Amino acid sequence: MRQVPPISAVLFDLDGVLTDTAHAHYAAWKRLADELGVPFDEATNEALKGVDRMGSLDLLLRHGGLSVDPESRDALASRKNGWYLDAIQAYGPADLFPGAREALCAVRDAGLRSALCSASRNAPALIDRLGIADLFDIVVDPASVPHGKPAPDIFLAAARQLDLSADRCLGVEDAPAGVAAIHAAGMFAIGIGDPQVLSDADRVIPSIADFRLEDYHAR
């Protein structure tokens, strides 16, 4: 088992790690797929996890053997996003996973930095609704990086903004694309979920409630 390096920051994904908007995403993508006549089920949806909106749309179109012009592509992505935003309007602190706030507070109490590295451009609004915006030192805008996960760009951007070397950062993700991005950035990866799905992670825990900072950081 790979040894945990000394860390100065923890970089968190959002969906599937701190809260669950998976059903809202699934319903919006399924609605769009149905309109386009593209077969879509849970297995197809699994490939979209951790991938940004436009990347997910490209995967969906490729799955359906469809090609659209850039203007239509933007319109499709906007339509899906509108349905998703409608679905999360009612989100609040009660929609945090058990242990999510505690994990973020533990990072802060230990004097470490924290960053949100979500592929969703809606992440700032969502963490505000969830009541945890003040627990992050930075929120990386996925629109500000050239490539989405599994490319390392968003995690490397977080390290730069925190003025840390990548090897001083620990990443927490629930999707294989996210774990791949963390590793590509040269960081230690904690996977949340199924060990078989996240077999490339350095450590896997069932949920954020099982995150114990002392397992990765010596005070």
Q: Could you list the active site residues?
A: 13, 15
Instruction: Give CA torsion, residues 110, 198, 21, 136, to 10 deg.
Output: 20
Residues in the chain: 219
Residues sharing a CB contact under 8 Å with residue 3, sequence separation 6 or more, in sequence order = none
Residue 33 neighbours by CB distance under 10 Å: 20
Those residues with Cβ within 8 angstroms of residue 96's Cβ, 6 or more apart along the chain or in another chain? 18, 19, 130, 131, 132
